Structure 1
Amino acid sequence: MLATPPQPHDVSLPHFPKPAVIKNASSQELPRSIAQSWLDRFSAVLDSGDASRLSTVIHEDSWWRDHVALSWDLRTLHGLPAIISFLFPVLSSIRLHPLSLAAEGEAYAPSTVKPIPELEWIQSMFTFETSTGRGRGFLRLAQAEDGIWKAHMLYTALDGIKDHEESTGARRSHGGQNSSEGGNWFERRQKTHTFDDSEPDCLIIGAGQAGLNLAARLQALNLSVLIIDRQTRVGDNWRSRYRTLVTHDPVTYAHMAYLPFPSNWPLYTPKDKLGDWFEAYASLMELNVWLSTSITSSSYSPETKSWTVDIKKADGSTKTLHPPHLILATGHSGEPRIPTFPNQSSFHGSIYHGSAHKDATPSSAAGKKILVVGTGNSGHDIAQNYFEAGAESVTLLQRSGTYVLQAEKGGHMLHAGTYDETGPPTEDADVYSQSLPLPVQFALGRNLTKAIAEAEKENLQGLENAGFKVDFGHDGSGLFRKYMTKGGGYYIDVGCSKLICEGKVKVVNSPAGIAGFEEHGVKLADGRVVEADIVVLATGYDNMRTSCRKILGPSIADAVKDVWDLDDEGELNAMWRPSGHPRFWYMGGNLALCRIYSKFLALQIKGVEVGINNM
């Protein structure tokens, strides 16, 4: 893990020298009493309306991450001056008021933790109210040399809008009555699905995990939603992928909103089983999905603050819709990134992008030399698929290092105590998992990356011996930073690493890439030639903005921002938040992130509809 040049969002966590330990308080009482005292002081400062007094309760080097509670956006403020500047103009209007700490016995009740050896926090979940909503937050207090405990990390996240809460729990809908007036449930459901006499409040493009989670959230907020998808069945976005695919994230992490997977669900979900779950989810959550449907044109009117979207339905008929909100939920990546090379047409074999891979069979693989260009998840899975199908040889072409962790070891360590069988309720885990600013998570990730490397040293040594270059991420920060900044550059090992270590899947390194093709292979930049009959380009995907351009046209794509990677504050660009175009939103990510952030996006949209989010 060699040192690398600094990058944006590199941070060092401070060390707060502590005075002598306070006496006359048991170790169990002390964290709660300290946290409660701080909460009371914090409330007094907020009630005063004077943001400058925050210096009495918040450290100079502090962080405040807010998800929709204070600004109808996703924000991260670093440093007391930035926090005061952010809160000063809105403190009196938002009327932030902390309520209570998590009770004893609850997940994330006040406790003392050491995130790193040099830093000790008292942490606790807490509830709060604002003038418009209710939420949950997370505090982390550090003690300064003068003995005063102040906030080092604060998190506030909106749970619901006052007078517009979700129709869940005690607010669930009645469900009908034993009467034919207005039609029975099935008849009402059919009418709702057609939108013959109404317009949807939200039109979602894509019926994968992003669209389904968001639609369920929006409908729980009593907004009407229509999802359109070009596939013939809900879940086909997973069924259509390569035959051997299973999720690389464990089921304990990957639940859907409102409807968790059953306790006997497999730890890693096969793609077709997940597709079936999506189909069942859409039915059980009463989501309106039009399949084999595509957009033919779209435009936005600033005057009416609504969209005009022409669509072509499965039966060939057309319909024009006028939703106030349009959400692109086709996945957090855009169109496949398919490079071309000199003399490619002279190649006598076949070339295709990894997105087109379905299955390697004995008939398609036998006697064939396979070259897979790219060493992310898909590249490894495809290489393993070809080897197991009996290919003569399988080679991975690696241009730069790849972070590798084993699903059965490092994968469990990533979620231990939070998203596992011993962890807290998923909703509590979601608050906790998002409560630290991303740059801080990256910094803390260094220690976890080292621990995972130690647990997997045998596998890593085997990869190194086989010529595979392992990259532990910028500054040794590991998987999470790679995912949140690049969306790739890693492999969660579900079997291919063993094949590489045993020499069954070969590795060729070419930092300068491919110079071109020859009749029977690929010529590398250094002049070497790798023989191949089939070349699979596992070269990733473009920015999600390319999907926007393809589906909605250049005028909309030119107005929106690029998606993914971090903005100046350290939040993801454009995803789950204002996109740059009025009432156009991006929704994407893995199953867990779609579950978590669909809530925040749904609340932003609901805020617009009830007139308190003035975007």
Structure 2
Amino acid sequence: MAASLEALHTISLPQLSKDRAAISVKELSTPKDIAQDWLSEFSARLASGDVNSVIGLIHEDGWWRDHLALSWDFRTLRGLKNISEFLSPILSQVGLQDLKIQESGQFAPSKKTPIDGLDWIEFMFSFKTAVGSGKGMARLVSVPNDTWKAHMLHTSLQELDGHPEKIGDLRPHGGNNSLKGGAIEGNWYERRQRAIEFLDEEPTVLIIGAGQSGLNLGARLQALGLSCLIIDRNDRIGDNWRLRYRTLVTHDPVQYTHMAYMPFPSNWPLFTPKDKLADWFEIYASAMELNVWMKSTVASADFSDEKQSWTVEISRKGSPARTVKPQHIVLCTGHSGEPKIPSFPGQNTFKGRVYHGSQHKDATFGDNVAGKKVVVVGTGNSGHDIAQNYYENGAEVSMLQRSGTYVISARTGLFMLHKGLYDEHGPPTEDADVFGQSLPIPVQFALNVGLTERIKAAELANIDGLEKVGFKIDFGNDGSGIFRKYITRGGGYYIDVGATQLIIDGKIKVVQSPDGIKGFTENSLVLADGRELEADVVVLATGYDNMRTSLRKSLGDKIADRCKDVWDLDEEGEVNAMWRPSGHPKLWFMGGNLALCRSYSKLLALQIKATEEGLVKK
């Protein structure tokens, strides 16, 4: 993130608590009464179409984060001027109406104190618009004259009128008598084989990548009645996890990582081994009736601006090449993009092995590593996991750290992040997803400062131990912790699953080199200050490039040049180009961890469906 944007998204929340002794009788109303009074007045003002009247119920430092309810994009507006300018030309067309409080459950109106000096009444509500319905969150603060105003508003479209997801009461019939034309034209299995091969129709959406992004999105789109073809270069569904390093497990707990429509079983482990997750992906694709072509890549792709559609040639190993004409392409190859693989002077003279962390399988692959000197360059999740893997197989391991890393324990701090929301006793996942994305991202950063401090206090022994052996801890910009690092950089943190204690105990060494690497000799890695580290193996855990590089490699420069860079934040504080318009018509990026893929696949599917239904104006 550019320094100016980083500063822009580093905010301080106002002190809006009132002297308890000065509270009036009116303010002693219940949270439900306060919420209902405000929402009723807000609804009336929305109906009037008077923008000035509407913003009169919003705090002068108010925020409104919108996901598709007010426009076909993600927007975060701060301050009355920006909110007014945004609403003025669209309010009458949007038709925001029928706002209703969620009266029971975890998101019924209640008083919260997110930080010292800031109290608000928080509640979820449902609403309708001219094109659909949705859910939102309001957070009200008390101002002088016994008045409550919205400090934080969120609106998120969840369904299009006339195009509900085919779930629950609307689930398919499934019996032979429900088959179009009758069973004589094919039973379910026979029809599935034709559907997978797209013998009778063109796919509306081509999804490139059959990982958590592509599978979640495919399931969402098909539930909206859109045909999808998912292609992947690997041999089997799930290979994007199955082929990664042998000891990998998910770093997020199971309650946070459910997939759309099909949560993990109640006896599923908290953290999922990679091969188990890969097998689940295969089960998921089958259960969701997704049309997946493996061992397939894009040979060429061309977009017609006149027809607003694609022509794509797909190479299929073992099958004839196919040309398909989808309306949309979604790149679901992972938000990290291509591996960043640096090269250094003298590297070709090095007698040992050098490889990128993305190529790591297991320390046991190849020669016996017992007693060998291994240097892991980088101290993120992969770097730690790889270092631990080599140590456990008898190697002498050093990690090269260039800048500070945020460390949080999977045993303690990670569960503090999700407590009350994504845990065994949390609310329905669909509501948790709305709530979890309801605060503007810069506000989440600000609130995470206090949470990061509480996690630090709970994990102080680890932090002190790491610092004593020379490991640099970085708590993130403004001390905001892991989320800011993830959403802006996609890295710079380690969720500890065992390597921290090995470092504290001196079993894995840490070497500091702020200026990086100078080069190689035959037997060593040379640091920028001239120090040499003897090495038999050097692993470059140096991260990944922008996802736009994957697009360039897959679809070519002409298409990639029209797109924006992906990830990090724009000026308003929304993620660039991901799950939203990319800059190129009918081309989308989809990525993130399992939880983000579940949550945002719904919003991306709605955008694609709305485009197909003519609701999105060009």
Q: Deviations over 1:274-320 (max 9, x none)?
A: 00000000000000000101110001001111000001112141110
Partner of 1:312: 315
Secondary structure class of the residue paired with 2:495: strand
More displaced 10-residue stretch of structure 1: 271-280 or 163-172: 163-172
- How far apart in 1 are the matches of 2:522 and 2:469? 28
Question: What secondary structure does 1:498 align onto?
Answer: helix
Structure 2 counterpart of 1:92: 92
- Provide structure 2 residue ranges, at least 5 long, that are not aligned to the other structure: none
Shift of 1:182: 2.8
Amino acid at match of 2:59: H
CA–CA distance in structure 1, aligned partners of residues 508 and 243 of structure 2: 25
1:277 alignment partner in structure 2: 280
Matched, 1:366 2:370: yes
Report the CA distance between 1:22 and its aligned residue: 3.7
The answer to whether structure 1 residue 387 and structure 2 residue 386 are counterparts is no
How far off its partner does 1:100 sit? Answer: 1.0
Structural mapping, 1:105-504, within 5 Å: 106-178=105-177, 180-361=183-364, 363-391=367-395, 393-504=396-507
Aligned residues: 608
List aligned pairs for 1:558-597, cutoff 5 A.
Answer: 558-597=561-600
Q: What is the CA deviation profile of residues 240-298 of structure 1, one whole-angstrom value per residue up to 9, with x for unaligned ones?
A: 00000000000010000000000100000000000000000000000000010111000
User: Is the 2:160–2:606 contact (alpha carbons within 8 Å) kept by the matching residues of 1?
Assistant: yes
Q: For residues 497-555 of structure 1, what are the alpha-carbon distances to aligned partners after superposition, in whole Å with 9 as ceiling and x for unaligned?
A: 01000000000000001111111111111111111000000000000000000010110
CA shift for structure 1 position 24: 7.3
CA distance in 2 between counterparts of 1:560 and 1:98 reads 37
The Cα offsets for residues 329-370 of structure 1, whole Å up to 9 and x where unpaired, read as 000111100111111112111100000000011843122100
CA drift at 1:37: 0.3
1:11: which partner in 2?
11
Distance in 2, Cα, partners of 1:145 & 1:533: 69
Q: Hey, what's the Cα distance between the residues in 2 that align with 1:409 and 1:296? A: 47
More displaced stretch, 447-456 vs 166-175: 166-175
Mapped partners of 1:517, 1:382: distance in 2? 21
What corresponds to 1:37 in structure 2? Answer: 37
- Residue 549 of structure 2 corresponds to residue 546 of structure 1: yes
- Distance in structure 1 (CA, Å) of the matches to 2:291 and 2:259: 17
SS of residue paired to 1:83 = helix
* Residue 606 of structure 1, CA deviation: 0.3
AA of the residue aligned to 2:520: F
> Which residue among 515, 531, 534 is the counterpart of 2:534?
531
Identify the residue that residue 49 of structure 2 maps to in structure 1: 49
Letter in 2 for 1:182: E
List, as ranges, runs of 4+ consecutive aligned residues in structure 1 with deviation greater than 6 Å.
none
Measured in 1, the distance between the counterparts of 2:230 and 2:277 equals 19
CA contact (8 A) 1:16 1:145 kept: no
Q: Does 1:65 align with 2:69?
A: no
Q: Distance in 2 between matches of 1:271 and 1:413?
A: 24
How many Å separate the matches in 2 of 1:33 and 1:314?
A: 64
Distance 2:37 2:185 in 1: 56
Deviations 1:461-486 (A, max 9, x none): 11011110000000100000000000
1:365-423 superposed Cα distances (whole Å, 9 cap, x missing partner): 122100000000000000000000111x1000000000000000100100001111121
Give me the whole-angstrom Cα distance separating, in 2, the residues matched to 1:205 and 1:86: 35
Letter of the aligned partner of 1:170 in structure 2?
Answer: D
Which one of the candidate residues 584, 608, 612 is aligned to 1:609?
A: 612
Asked whether the 8 Å contact 1:107–1:428 carries over to 2, the reply is: no
Task: Tell me how far 1:23 sits from its aligned partner.
Answer: 2.9
CA RMSD of aligned residues (A): 1.4
Deviations 1:204-260 (A, max 9, x none): 000000000000000000000000001111001100000000000000100000000
TM-fit CA distance, 1:201: 0.4
Question: Amino acid of the residue matched to residue 33 of structure 1?
Answer: D
Map Cα deviations across residues 555-591 of structure 1 (whole Å, 9 max, x no partner).
0111101000000100000000000000000000000
**In structure 2, what is the equivalent of residue 517 of structure 1?**
520
CA distance in 1, matches of 2:326, 2:221: 14
In structure 1, C-alpha distance between the alignment counterparts of 2:48 and 2:472, rounded to whole Å: 57
Asked if the contact 1:398–1:507 (Cα under 8 Å) also holds between the matched residues in 2, the reply is: yes
TM-score (structure 1 length as normaliser) = 0.97
Cα offsets for 1:22-53 (capped at 9, x unmatched): 43787xx6100000000011011100101111
Deviation at 1:80, TM superposition (A): 1.0
2:17, 2:119 within 8 Å by CA — same for their partners in 1? no
Are 1:18 and 1:145, in contact at CA under 8 Å, matched by a contact in 2?
no
Name the TM-score, length of structure 2 as normaliser: 0.97
Whichever residue aligns with residue 23 of structure 1, its letter is V
Task: Tell me the amino acid that sits aligned with residue 176 of structure 2.
Answer: Q
Query: Structure 1 pair 445/25, CA: closer, same or farther in 2 (3 Å)?
Result: closer
Distance 1:169 1:25 in 2: 41
Distance 1:515 1:177 in 2: 69
| Whole-Å separation in 2 of the counterparts to 1:197 and 1:45 | 51
Deviates more, 1:347-356 or 1:307-316: 307-316
CA distance in 1, matches of 2:304, 2:44: 45
Are the counterparts in 2 of residues 18 and 147 from structure 1 also a CA contact under 8 Å?
no
Q: Report deviation, 1:17.
A: 5.0
User: Would the aligned equivalents of 1:176 and 1:184 in 2 still touch at CA under 8 Å?
Assistant: no
